[in-house]
């Protein structure tokens, strides 16, 4: 695919018409009054037209934008750098050029020219290009708020060789540079108490759950040991009752549910006014779980064109899992369509195949109470955070409803 589309512009065509008119005028005048010196400006004007046409066709033709994929990740307030490179394959250097592009307002720059245009920022960078070589420019950026933006509407302008109007090259492919600004992490009180310890596959030195299929040794039998734990082969060898020592295992896993909607007093549903707070609390919970190596899954009732029609991250743990969570939260937009909470919890119910702790952020509508009662009956612990309170405190969700 051709990278650049050259914008000649109507003003350059008018310039050619003016030069042609001047050439005809001076040539006819010199011929009529027999003043051959007037043919010098005629030749000059014609030369300017020819050179201008040649430069219109070949100027910037060997220019290449290095469109490699790069992703910059940051939190609000962080500083980062965007690296851009252009390759000039011509023997003629390009001086006093300017590279410009657009981004969303999630980032800004304090060291480049930035102007706001239709809820976007237009960034302009001075950039001269060496002949037969690569030229790079680094743009320092500051992350302003949560969100994701890509560089778009990339243009390169440089002075024309013989005309006053600059040459504009419009970059045609999509720019593969993306900036992801994660949500800030707002701490939540009471989070230390929110975990579910149940039988699972995580090894633990302290647990009331044991894996009967994974004995790790034997010890002498005591009267309090259950009879089914007697190791008969070891007892026969030692001529003394022996008890199996089983590996202790636990499952400390969370499901973080975020209701991004709220209802008015008339019952109309809309995106919550506390959306950013909810995403910040979800970010904090994901970080808290990841730091302690807890497994967790994350779900938000924002629609997406996918087999799972809402934003969902399956259960996992570790740094890579946290990175995926933060990126998912960063991509949430307030103008996306939402899923009714009742339908959302109906679908989430199919993922609850084992005991765990469920943390609900946001409103809990009255029609969702039967799901919560069912989960409680199945041994699932429920906690709720209402973002409208003075302090973000996790409370047991039994019997709580949204306002």
- Tens digit of each residue's pLDDT (9 = 90 or more) over 296-340: 999 999 998 877 899 999 999 999 999 999 999 999 998 889 999
Let me know if residue 2 belongs to a domain: no
**Helix, strand, or coil here: 169?**
strand
Neighbours of 381 (CB within 10 A): 21
Answer yes or no: do 265 and 382 share one domain.
yes
Checking if the pLDDT of 210 tops 60, the result is: no
Interior CA angle at 283 toward 277 and 288, to 5°? 125
Answer yes or no: do 38 and 120 share one domain.
no
Answer yes or no: do 117 and 26 share one domain.
no
Checking if the pLDDT of 33 tops 90, the result is: no
| Contacts made by residues 108-113, CB under 8 angstroms, sequence distance 24+ | 108/141, 108/142, 108/144, 109/139, 109/140, 109/141, 109/142, 110/140, 110/142, 111/139, 111/140, 112/139
For residues 313 and 257, give the distance between their C-alpha atoms in angstroms, rounded to a whole number: 11
Answer yes or no: do 385 and 286 share one domain.
yes
Interior CA angle at 58 toward 55 and 64, to 5°? 125
Give the H/E segment covering residue 54. helix 39-58
> How much is the pTM?
0.76
Answer yes or no: do 261 and 387 share one domain.
yes
Checking if the pLDDT of 403 tops 60, the result is: no
**Helix, strand, or coil here: 42?**
helix
Structure confidence at residue 197 (pLDDT): 46
Answer yes or no: do 124 and 78 share one domain.
yes
Q: Domain range spanning residue 153?
A: 63-181
Structure confidence at residue 24 (pLDDT): 77
Structure confidence at residue 203 (pLDDT): 40
Let me know if residue 402 belongs to a domain: no
**Helix, strand, or coil here: 193?**
helix
Let me know if residue 313 belongs to a domain: yes
Structure confidence at residue 9 (pLDDT): 60
CATH number at residue 348: 3.40.50.410
Let me know if residue 186 belongs to a domain: no
Answer yes or no: do 282 and 229 share one domain.
no
Answer yes or no: do 242 and 255 share one domain.
no
Answer yes or no: do 32 and 54 share one domain.
yes
Kindly state the average pLDDT of the residues 142-149: 94
Structure confidence at residue 351 (pLDDT): 77
- Greatest alpha-carbon pair distance for the chain in Å reads 135
Greater pLDDT, 192 or 128: 128
What are the distances in angstroms from CA 29 to CA 23, 280, 345? Answer: 10, 77, 87
**Backbone Cα Rg of the chain:** 34
Let me know if residue 204 belongs to a domain: no
Which pair of tokens denotes residue 193? 């108490």
What φ, ψ does residue 116 adopt, rounded to 5°?
-90, 135
On whether the CB atoms of residues 258 and 345 are closer than 8 A, the answer is: no
For residues 128 and 120, give the distance between their C-alpha atoms in angstroms, rounded to a whole number: 26
For residues 299 and 302, give the distance between their C-alpha atoms in angstroms, rounded to a whole number: 9
Checking if the pLDDT of 214 tops 60, the result is: no
- Confidence band of 110 (pLDDT split at 50, 70, 90): confident
CATH number at residue 161: 2.60.40.10
Domain count, the chain: 4
For residues 295 and 252, give the distance between their C-alpha atoms in angstroms, rounded to a whole number: 7
Answer yes or no: do 268 and 391 share one domain.
yes
Checking if the pLDDT of 365 tops 80, the result is: yes
For residues 41 and 151, give the distance between their C-alpha atoms in angstroms, rounded to a whole number: 46
**Percentage of the chain surpassing pLDDT 70?**
79
Strand order across the 167-171 sheet: 4-7, 167-171, 152-158, 98-104, 120-126, 113-117
The residue written with tokens 């509508």 in the block is: 365
What are the distances in angstroms from CA 104 to CA 77, 133, 144, 262, 331? Answer: 16, 31, 10, 26, 13
Let me know if residue 372 belongs to a domain: yes
Structure confidence at residue 204 (pLDDT): 39
- Confidence band of 227 (pLDDT split at 50, 70, 90): low
On whether the CB atoms of residues 186 and 281 are closer than 8 A, the answer is: yes
Neighbours of 388 (CB within 10 A): 13
Most confident range (mean pLDDT) of 44-53, 128-137, 207-216 is 128-137
Let me know if residue 14 belongs to a domain: yes
For residues 251 and 295, give the distance between their C-alpha atoms in angstroms, rounded to a whole number: 8
- Confidence band of 400 (pLDDT split at 50, 70, 90): very low
For residues 358 and 360, give the distance between their C-alpha atoms in angstroms, rounded to a whole number: 6
Answer yes or no: do 17 and 46 share one domain.
yes
For residues 242 and 274, give the distance between their C-alpha atoms in angstroms, rounded to a whole number: 60
Give the H/E segment covering residue 148. strand 147-150
Mean pLDDT of the chain: 81
Q: What is the pLDDT of residues 43-83, one digit of tens each?
A: 776 776 666 666 666 666 788 999 999 999 999 999 999 99
Answer yes or no: do 288 and 333 share one domain.
yes
Q: Which ranges constitute the DSSP H helices of 224-340? A: 232-238, 275-291, 319-330
Provide CB contacts within 8 A for 225, sequence distance 6+. 243
Determine the number of helices (DSSP H) and then strands (DSSP E) in the chain.
Answer: 7, 23
Let me know if residue 363 belongs to a domain: yes
Structure confidence at residue 167 (pLDDT): 82
Burial of 246 (0-12, 13-18, 19+ CB in 10 A): middle
CA–chain centroid gap for 359, Å, is: 24
Torsion of CA 162, 166, 171, 177, to 10 degrees: 120
């Amino acid at each position: 695919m051709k990278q650049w589309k050259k914008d000649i512009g109507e003003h350059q065509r008018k310039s050619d018409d003016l030069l042609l008119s001047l050439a005809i005028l001076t040539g006819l005048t010199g011929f009529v009054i027999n003043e051959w010196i007037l043919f010098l400006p005629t030749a000059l004007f014609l030369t300017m037209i020819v050179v201008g046409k040649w430069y219109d066709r070949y100027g910037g033709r060997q220019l290449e934008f290095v469109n490699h994929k790069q992703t910059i990740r940051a939190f609000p307030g962080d500083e980062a750098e965007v690296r851009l490179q252009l390759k000039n394959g011509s023997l003629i250097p390009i001086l006093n050029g300017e590279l410009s592009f657009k981004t969303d307002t999630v980032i800004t720059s304090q060291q480049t020219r930035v102007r706001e245009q239709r809820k976007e920022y237009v960034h302009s960078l001075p950039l001269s290009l060496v002949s037969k070589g690569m030229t790079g420019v680094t743009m320092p950026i500051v992350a302003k708020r949560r969100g994701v933006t890509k560089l778009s509407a990339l243009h390169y302008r440089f002075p024309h060789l013989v005309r006053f109007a600059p040459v504009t090259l419009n970059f045609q492919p999509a720019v593969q540079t993306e900036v992801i600004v994660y949500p800030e992490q707002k701490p939540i009180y009471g989070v230390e108490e929110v975990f579910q310890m149940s039988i699972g596959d995580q090894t633990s030195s302290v647990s009331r759950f044991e894996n009967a299929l994974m004995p790790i040794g034997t010890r002498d039998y005591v009267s309090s040991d259950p009879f089914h734990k007697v190791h008969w082969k070891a007892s026969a060898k030692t001529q003394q009752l022996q008890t199996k020592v089983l590996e202790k295992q636990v499952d400390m896993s969370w499901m973080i549910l975020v209701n991004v909607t709220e209802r008015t007093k008339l019952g109309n549903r809309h995106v919550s006014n506390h959306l950013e707070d909810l995403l910040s609390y979800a970010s904090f919970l994901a970080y808290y779980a990841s730091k302690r190596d807890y497994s967790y899954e994350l779900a938000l009732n924002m629609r997406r064109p996918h087999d799972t029609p809402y934003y969902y991250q399956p259960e996992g743990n570790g740094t890579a899992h946290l990175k995926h969570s933060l990126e998912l939260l960063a991509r949430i937009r307030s103008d996306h369509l939402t899923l009714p909470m009742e339908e959302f919890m109906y679908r989430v119910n199919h993922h609850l195949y084992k005991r765990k702790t469920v943390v609900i952020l946001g409103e809990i509508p009255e029609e969702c109470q039967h799901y919560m009662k069912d989960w409680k009956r199945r041994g699932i612990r429920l906690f709720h955070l209402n973002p409208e309170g003075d302090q973000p405190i996790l409370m047991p969700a039994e019997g709580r409803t949204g306002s």
